[in-house]
Amino acid sequence: MARQTKQPRPRAERPKGFRDYFGTEVTARAKMLRVIAEIYHRHGFDPLDTSAVETLDALGTYLPDVDRPNAGVFAWQEEEGTWLALRYDMTAPLARVAAQFRNDLPNPYRRFTMGPVWRNEKPGPGRFRQFYQCDADTVGAASMAADAEMCAMLADTLEAVGIPRGDYIVRVNNRKVLNGVMEAAGIGGGDTYDAVLRQIDKFDKVGEAGVRDLLGKGRLDASGAFIDGAGLGEEQIAFVIGFLQASDCDTEGIDATRGTTRTDGVLSSLRTLIGNSKVGAEGIAELETIAELLAAQGYGEDQIVIDTSVVRGLGYYTGPVYEATLTFNITDEQGHRRQFGSIAGGGRYDDLVRRFTGQEVPATGMSIGVDRLLAALQSRGKHNDPAHGPVIVTVMDRNRMADYQAMAATLRRAGIRAEVYLGNPKSFGNQLKYADKRQSPVAIIQGSDEATRGVVQIKDLILGAQIAQNATLKEWRAQPAQREVPLSDLAGAVRALLDRHG
């Protein structure tokens, strides 16, 4: 390591693509994660916290973004040769744990986990190299009930954190049905399969015409670069497009009253598309089971719906795939109105543990993009605590620091957030500026005169700010936002004032 390069002054900068979270950003996230953890826990999931570092071997090469093969992991080599790396998702470490502790863990193993993951990508606007994920997985359950439960829990979770019904939709599809359609269309496996998967994952972005080009000869993208197509023939393309549109799902216009009729219609179109494909028929039966289980538990098509346009880019999914989309519109950075979009997703992956043990272990799970969900809640005015800062006890006489500390202690014992100003107390203006920056609701003032009389001044900074915006000089001088109380009434008076401001 090149540690000895002497630079007299390092730059006070975080590396590109990383970020810092301050104050209420941290508490809002923690609050949301507590709500999610409570839901997962009540569904019988146990928490798991693996370390950030795994061997590169154990992580494998399941990087999700097939479009950017250069997108990678942060990795380094140990002195004795082993390559270590930061985890890029929560699924690879789970597969390692499930294999390493297979004799000790309950089977099925239901776990949830929350924490940062790292991607060694080129940083860009809104694209970060460390971000939070919150995952739930069931390892060792082949039953479609495990997949249905994931979809149900996703709906429950979104409602619990504050996304009302109608503002989200959980969309379910099945890889086996796609495989069946491709079989019926005579589309080969391997590279072609991967290419088709990659292209139809762009359906939301480039639309039907775009996907037609990408499945065929290719197309020019927005930057003018030519993107090679998957090389399918016209008839094959028709099969794939038919599949993507089988549910023709307008997520904003789902009509719950249509009940299972809609599901029946979708399944019937799919049956035509797959022809005699055995795997396709399996996939349709799986979709049907999931739909039945969810309907029996009272989940409506305004919450969870079959949507054949959902593919999920990851190569490792083997059966059901699901995705939660937020359906309300936001204004993006470029000023365009658009749907908020995908917030969570997952699916069944039966092969991940086999990498280690040679035995196939059925598993299904989902991942919530924590930062995106938090942004969504904030755009809806949720989890935006007004977040007053602490009460500031000002310092009028630096020799009486112990008295001021005692006042702060009194307030804290009454459950009130409080602190003594600890900067240089020479300028009282600086102390009030500090209180302002902290968004303090109240400042406490006690000079020698007040100390002699056993009283304190309580300055209502919220009211003060309101007056400052509207008041005349005369009104300002009257200072109605400040009043004197006996020292013994300090906590009660501050509490009353805070309650008044809510």
Query: Interface residues for a copy of itself in 220-249 (CB under 8 A)?
Result: none
CB atoms within 10 A of CB 497: 20
Q: What sign has the CA pseudo-torsion 368, 372, 375, 376?
A: negative
Report the DSSP beta bridge partners of residue 137.
111, 365
Residue 21, interface with a copy of itself (CB under 8 A)? yes
Query: What is the closest distance, in whole angstroms, from the C-beta atom of residue 430 to a copy of itself in the complex?
Result: 8
Q: Judged by CB, which is closer to a copy of itself: 401, or 478?
A: 401
Three-class DSSP category at 324: strand
- Contacts of a copy of itself in 101-130 (CB under 8 A): 106-108, 110, 116, 118, 129-130
How many residues touch a copy of itself under the rule CB under 8 A: the total is 107
Residue 76, interface with a copy of itself (CB under 8 A)? yes
Residue 136, interface with a copy of itself (CB under 8 A)? no
Q: Characterise 56 by phi-psi region: left (phi > 0), alpha (psi -120 to 50), beta (else).
A: alpha
Report the DSSP beta bridge partners of residue 443.
392, 459
Query: What is the closest distance, in whole angstroms, from the C-beta atom of residue 58 to a copy of itself in the complex?
Result: 5
Task: Name which position in 26, 220, 256, 496 contacts a copy of itself (CB under 8 A).
Answer: 26
> Which candidate, 288, 361, 352, 353, places its Cα nearest to that of 320?
288
Task: Name which position in 214, 326, 418, 462 contacts a copy of itself (CB under 8 A).
Answer: 418
Three-class DSSP category at 114: strand
Residue 53, interface with a copy of itself (CB under 8 A)? yes
What are the structure tokens assigned to 413, written together? 């014992």
Task: Name which position in 282, 302, 403, 450 contacts a copy of itself (CB under 8 A).
Answer: 403
Residue 96, interface with a copy of itself (CB under 8 A)? yes
- Contacts of a copy of itself in 277-316 (CB under 8 A): 292-293, 296-298
The whole-angstrom separation of Cα 55 and Cα 431 is: 51
Residue 48, interface with a copy of itself (CB under 8 A)? yes
- Contacts of a copy of itself in 333-392 (CB under 8 A): 355-358, 389-390, 392
The tally of CA atoms less than 13 A away on the side-chain side of residue 481 is 19
For residues 112 and 97, the answer to whether their CB atoms sit within 8 Å is no
Query: What is the closest distance, in whole angstroms, from the C-beta atom of residue 82 to a copy of itself in the complex?
Result: 7
- Contacts of a copy of itself in 140-169 (CB under 8 A): 140-143, 145-146, 148-149
Q: What sign has the CA pseudo-torsion 149, 152, 158, 161?
A: negative
The tally of CA atoms less than 13 A away on the side-chain side of residue 232 is 29
Q: Judged by CB, which is closer to a copy of itself: 261, or 297?
A: 297
